[in-house]
């Protein structure tokens, strides 16, 4: 749970175990929240409203999946790992 302009919002995260590819979404109302990684995203930003937070989250999703390499993936990004799996299929 994170507060955006004083209103509670929740981040939904889906992560593929093989490629470590993330899909992130914000919701204004959900029944259950997930752990939020404060150091990576939320702890570094204040958002004036929900649309600014959602836009920033989409940007972070792009950085995580396409620009930031992972040692667990032997130096590949999650997007590169996913592309290799698609090519091999």
Question: Long-range contacts: 4-13, Cβ < 8 Å, 24+?
Answer: 4/47, 4/48, 4/49, 4/50, 4/52, 4/53, 5/47, 5/48, 5/49, 5/50, 7/50, 9/50, 9/53, 10/34, 11/36, 11/42, 11/57
Residue numbers of the domain that contains 78: 2-88
Give pLDDT, residue 44: 61
For the full predicted model, state whether its pTM sits above 0.85: no
- Alpha-carbon gap, residue 2 to 6, rounded angstroms: 9
Whether the pLDDT of residue 42 is over 80: the answer is: no
Confidence of residue 45 (pLDDT cuts 50, 70, 90): low
- The count of domains in the chain is 1
Q: By three-state DSSP, how is residue 30 classified?
A: coil
**Residue appearing with tokens 């490629």:** 19
- Alpha-carbon gap, residue 67 to 71, rounded angstroms: 13
Confidence of residue 84 (pLDDT cuts 50, 70, 90): very high
């Amino acid at each position: 749970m994170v507060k955006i302009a004083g209103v509670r919002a929740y981040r939904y995260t889906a992560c593929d175990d093989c490629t470590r590819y993330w899909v992130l979404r914000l919701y204004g109302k959900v029944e259950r929240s997930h752990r939020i990684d404060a150091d990576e995203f939320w702890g570094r930003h204040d958002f004036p409203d929900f649309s600014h937070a959602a836009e920033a989250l989409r940007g972070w999703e792009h950085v995580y999946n396409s620009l930031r390499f992972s040692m667990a993936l032997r130096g590949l990004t999650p997007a590169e790992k996913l592309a290799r799996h698609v090519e091999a299929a």
